[in-house]
Structure 1
Amino acid sequence: MNNRLIPEPQTPNSEPQTIAILGAGAWGTTLATLASHQGHMVRLWSRQGSSSLQSVLCGAEMVVSAVSMKGVRMVVEQVRSLQITPNAILISATKGLDPDSGSETELPCLPSQIWQTALPNHPVVVLSGPNLSAEIQKGLPAATVVASENETAAEQVQQAFSSTSFRVYTNTDVLGVELGGILKNVIAIAVGACDGLQLGTNAKAALVTRGLAEIIRIGTDWGAKPDTFYGLSGLGDLLATCNSALSRNYQVGYSLAQGKQLSEVLASLQGTAEGVNTTQVLVRLAAQQQIALPISHQVNQLLQGNITPHAALEALMLRDRKPENC
């Protein structure tokens, strides 16, 4: 792990914990660094690494899942078949919708729900917020949210990861916190395309604002609290993702607007742009439930190659006139 840009370790604000982090991508590595600098014993696991999953999990009091959405079910099944510490806290840091679940009457599974279903005797905490890994690796200040129905577990995770450069808040609206981090990726693709077309600040501001309205519309319909989406895991994450070229989802939209093919864009990314798969699942579900998501619909059309960025813009601008709060 390269820690050259990370500030010196700080005085721990909680008792040292043994923390297993599953997934050695940018986010998993960043979380490992944050935890180790708080004095915790951190073990980092990846499918390509030399350490066995059992050895990484052995004695771990917290298990952080930072794998991509497509890898969640496989990792969950592996963990369930192994012996882990009783009452170990499971922390989900994945932002995506499960493409293999959901129907006209059921929502797709969220990462935390997959963990909770498989390991019902363990508290599950969702970690989400405006957290661009590259900035945190430089020691720049950031904040995040940890949400759980088990408030004690959320507070323990808060203590474990809080520092002078990384502020952690708690929340009890698990669904809202998790959905905010998932759904903003779709809007980030749209905003990236807007910037790629050089449409200006006015257009970008309108797109982010109406995108937030879509997130709140679908999120509250699914049962989340509307206020949650104005917090760090909703509006905060949306602003960070839509205003930084460090965001992979933003990069996808920007590159498509520059005339590149989706396959070419995805092959060049370092990591997974979760918004690509999320868009398809989201639009399918919204259509089944008759929830209007015009921006997400156009993003899906763009990703499927059915429309150009300019045509997607025109389709949004020519929609029927309506009150703003509809």
Structure 2
Amino acid sequence: MTEITLSPQNLAEPTQNLSTPLTVLGQGAWGSALAHLARINNTPVQTWSRRGKESLEAVVGNAKVILCAISMKGVAALAARLKTIPLQPDVIFVTATKGLDPATKRTPSQIWQTTFPDHPVAVLSGPNLSKEIDLGLPAATVIASEDLAAAETVQELFSSDIFRVYTNTDPLGTELGGTLKNVMAIAVGVCDGLKLGTNARSALITRALPEVMRIGTLLGGQAETFYGLSGLGDLLATCTSPLSRNYQVGYGLAQGKALDEILEELGSTAEGVNTTCVLVDRVYDEGISAPIAWQVYRLLNGKITPQEAVAALMERELKPEYCDLP
């Protein structure tokens, strides 16, 4: 039997020759990986970073699809800036950012849709670790939009023999799955950092799913979305891989490191830290039960130790397993 080695050279072959111009905003690990995936299909791609030499006006003027892959803290300002620039009348906005806006508690897609109400907005999210994509390893993702034609346009831009793209019409649920799992990944990182074993990790991930679903559905997502790639799939990838920045945050806290030290060592954004703080405020306002998120919040803010966070979860009142599913 001939052994097949997965690599960019033998998998990343152009599958289409599309002429839909794409601009990727953000040249970090995720934005760069997405730009590479689009180029596999010979898609015309331009990229932009606020630290780069190209002006924003120069790279977005002819784009039919504008994909934002910057950190959450810059989304609202960037959307407002784009509002002042002449764009193609039928441009599609795609968000690949995972987080919640501290000021408004909105998701990235809600910010984009509010800023550009007459344009389709799509969400790209799934179990996609950028370092594995850089290695040419196969992956799958979801592109979600209430405008199915827009979702299918973006699907064609990124689909290749190393990247399978599915569509759905639940952008908010798709986005919340990718956002909320970052909080859970911090918790699982703590579990592994304390060397609590496979049993504990499996139990924690299993209990994390209904918490994500409970929060996500009450905030407007569809329950079935959270069983898919952008929900369960992303949860598994982020909670079980040391490549996950949010997992590394939890692991470092369990080893006694200070949060600032961990973030400095990462050298990149761990969106779960900001998301946890915003999320706890929002679920409190909505009256939603979120025990794992609550303990992560207390840990990140120095109110408890990792050991106390685990004990708090283990000592909760006894209940039926499925009592809190949406």
> What band does the TM-score fall into relative to the shorter chain?
over 0.9
1:163 to 160, 180, 186: 160
SS at match of 1:143: strand
Residue 182 (structure 1) shift: 0.3
Q: Aligned residue for 1:308?
A: 305
Q: Aligned residue for 1:104?
A: none
2:4 paired with 1:7: no
One-letter identity of the residue aligned with 1:6:
P
Which runs of 5 or more residues in structure 1 are unaligned?
Answer: 102-107
Decide which moves more: 241-250 or 266-275. Answer: 266-275
2:282 paired with 1:285: yes
Q: Aligned residue for 1:131?
A: 128
2:144 paired with 1:147: yes
SS at match of 1:316: helix
Residue 13 (structure 1) shift: 2.6
Q: Aligned residue for 1:105?
A: none
Distance 2:71 2:293 in 1: 21
2:36 to 33, 39, 42: 33
2:203 paired with 1:181: no
Distance 1:14 1:41 in 2: 10
Q: Aligned residue for 1:88?
A: 91
Distance 1:185 1:274 in 2: 7
The answer to whether the 8 A contact 1:14-1:160 is kept is no
Residue 129 (structure 1) shift: 0.2
One-letter identity of the residue aligned with 1:24:
Q
Which runs of 5 or more residues in structure 2 are unaligned?
Answer: 1-6
CA RMSD of aligned residues (A): 1.1
Distance 1:235 1:296 in 2: 17
One-letter identity of the residue aligned with 1:176:
G
2:294 paired with 1:297: yes
Q: Aligned residue for 2:215?
A: 218
Sequence identity (%): 57
The answer to whether the 8 A contact 1:193-1:254 is kept is yes
2:264 paired with 1:271: no
One-letter identity of the residue aligned with 2:284:
A
One-letter identity of the residue aligned with 1:7:
Q
Question: What does the per-residue CA deviation read over 1:233-276, in whole Å, with 9 as the maximum and x for residues that have no partner?
Answer: 00000000011111000000000000000011111113210000
Question: What does the per-residue CA deviation read over 1:166-211, in whole Å, with 9 as the maximum and x for residues that have no partner?
Answer: 0000011111101000000000000000000000000000100111
Residue 225 (structure 1) shift: 1.2
The answer to whether the 8 A contact 1:14-1:159 is kept is no
Residue 6 (structure 1) shift: 3.5
Distance 1:7 1:26 in 2: 20
Q: TM-score if structure 1 supplies the norm length?
A: 0.95
1:62 to 58, 62, 65: 65
Distance 1:87 1:271 in 2: 33
One-letter identity of the residue aligned with 1:287:
Y
Number of residues paired by the alignment?
Answer: 316
One-letter identity of the residue aligned with 1:127:
L
Distance 1:245 1:213 in 2: 23
Distance 2:143 2:16 in 1: 17
Residue 12 (structure 1) shift: 3.5
1:118 to 111, 115, 120: 115
The answer to whether the 8 A contact 1:229-1:235 is kept is yes
The answer to whether the 8 A contact 1:279-1:299 is kept is yes
Structure 1 segments (4+ residues) deviating >4 Å: none
Distance 2:193 2:128 in 1: 23
The answer to whether the 8 A contact 2:17-2:43 is kept is no
One-letter identity of the residue aligned with 2:9:
P
Distance 2:20 2:282 in 1: 40
The answer to whether the 8 A contact 1:96-1:278 is kept is yes
Residue 14 (structure 1) shift: 5.2
Cα 1:47–1:15 change in 2 (3 A) is same
